[in-house]
Chains A and B, each alone.
Chain A
Amino acid sequence: MSLTESQAVFASVHENALNDVLTAFCTDRPRYLVYGSPAFVPATTIAETGMAAIAFPGIAGGIQWRVRLSIPRIDLFKQTMTLPPELALGPGQFSVRLGAEICLDCGRIRIDPKPPRGHDTKPDDREPNRPLPGTPKPDDRHPLREVTCCKLEVFAIGHIEHVLTSSGEDAITLVPDAVEIVDIKPDEVESVLECLLFMILQAVLGQIRLPLKSLRAGAFSLTLTEGPLIEDDQVKVRGAF
């Protein structure tokens, strides 16, 4: 069987090269792997993307957070990378493995005894924050402020889609279909985290649009008519010259 088959041009990129390109992208534009609220990321730079804090009543400035992802590692069908049993790599699919660190800026909120604005109450002459007699001593487990993080290993399977870059070039993007985080208990917590990371992964990978021209190292010209297809550890395309 010829490479071009019924078309004039054929191009393929092996998963090793795809990983090289992804590594290059994430190394040159690391902000696509690091997102945080102002306490962690005061402003968007090449290194990190600034986001809003999670607003919550009573928490001045909102809940400060940060997500840091490692450089994704892709495996194209046929499977060579180990996956958790919950995921199975099928024809035309890719799997991805990456690390995710989620951090929160955890801290104590100072309770103001004064009535909140707009409420009419009896004056209280007690000293502020002084416990009532007989009240047990407060738990000092949480200091005033503390960054609390967790690291997760994330697996996902997905498919690739044909998209256009901002300059109108043919490109591909990786679209996750399912995410698995191993051994989080209870299962409901695992499901919540998988949902969170599924949405984050869709968004992050969706921003990475790799031009087809780059994936064939600029060789020849190709007007896409077939693909992109995943097979034989490669992404393959065919078209007219």
Chain B
Amino acid sequence: MAEITAALDEGGANTLLADAIATIGTQTKSGSGSLGPFIANYTVQGTLTSGTVDLIPPDTIRIANLRLDWQLDFDFGIDLSTILPDFCLPQVCVDIPCVGTVCTPKICVDWPTITVPVSFGDFVKVTVDTKLDIALSGGKWRVQAVVLGVPNLQFGATTALLLAAIGAAVTPVLLAVPFIGPFLAIAVDAILATIAIAGVTGFLGPIITPFVSGLKFLIYEQPQQFEVLPADGPVDPKVDITIDTVDCVVAHNGTEDELVLTADISP
């Protein structure tokens, strides 16, 4: 029989996981990814909120509707010469009084490369299974619930909204390009068609998924040399015990599924 036993019912486990997830706080990642044919540099922030916990013996904790609120800031460069055809101003001839006819040469416009900054935020919900991982490392016992596999995040309407946000972000940048005015709608449509929903999905997936995949929720952490009582003056030093082993399982006891942590100690 284990020397020390502590157990949580599903209600307690809900609160434990909610607290554990809340302590993760807001995480920030930066990098670059493919947005259709364009390379986008991004910074993304993600904040998790726990869902509903289901304890599944022998060692699975399922979190349904785990919510990830994310805020994405990215920019990508577009060489407009790949989007728009060559455009040349024709020769312009005018009659100057007392001078004669003066003509400009044909002048071809070089479409520039523009950088489009986009800011967009949304959330995604996912159900994940976690497995209990117990380890002693650096003098500390840790029990963590580790997300299994790579969740398939469903972005749904988000992709269309992000595409619209890209369109809205592209427009003012394009307006700054001389001679783009008549081609503005063509350019915006061309850019959005080039990226498309597939491009947005392909961009979001690798960026957002790491916030969930491989995530570890801390369930228990204590130093192996565990302090029973702190020092209380010069003649009362601290009292320590050693936590020799730790185990954690999901057990079905009676009618309840419970998260059960056990430990053996020595003086």
Contact = CB atoms under 8 A, between A and B. Distances in A.
Contacts of A45: 235
A59 B12 CA distance: 65
A220 B7 CA distance: 8
Contacts of A215: 4
A166 interface: yes
Contacts of A29: 236-237, 239
Interface in B214-267: 220, 222, 226-230, 232, 235-241, 243, 246, 253-256, 258, 260-261, 263-267
Q: Is the interface of B mostly helix, strand, loop or mixed?
A: strand
A165 B68 CA distance: 41
A218 B222 contact: yes
Contacts of A3: 5, 7, 253, 258, 260
Category for how many chain B residues contact A: 35 or more
Nearest to B260: A3
Interface of B: 1-9, 11-12, 15-16, 220, 222, 226-230, 232, 235-241, 243, 246, 253-256, 258, 260-261, 263-267
A4 B241 contact: no
A100 B32 CA distance: 74
26 contacts: A3-B7, A3-B253, A7-B9, A8-B11, A9-B9, A12-B4, A12-B5, A14-B1, A17-B4, A20-B3, A20-B241, A21-B265, A24-B240, A29-B236, A29-B239, A46-B236, A46-B237, A166-B232, A216-B4, A216-B6, A217-B243, A219-B222, A219-B261, A220-B12, A241-B8, A241-B16
B237 A13 contact: no
Contact of B241 (A7, A21, A46): A21
Contacts of B11: 8, 241
A16 B241 CA distance: 13
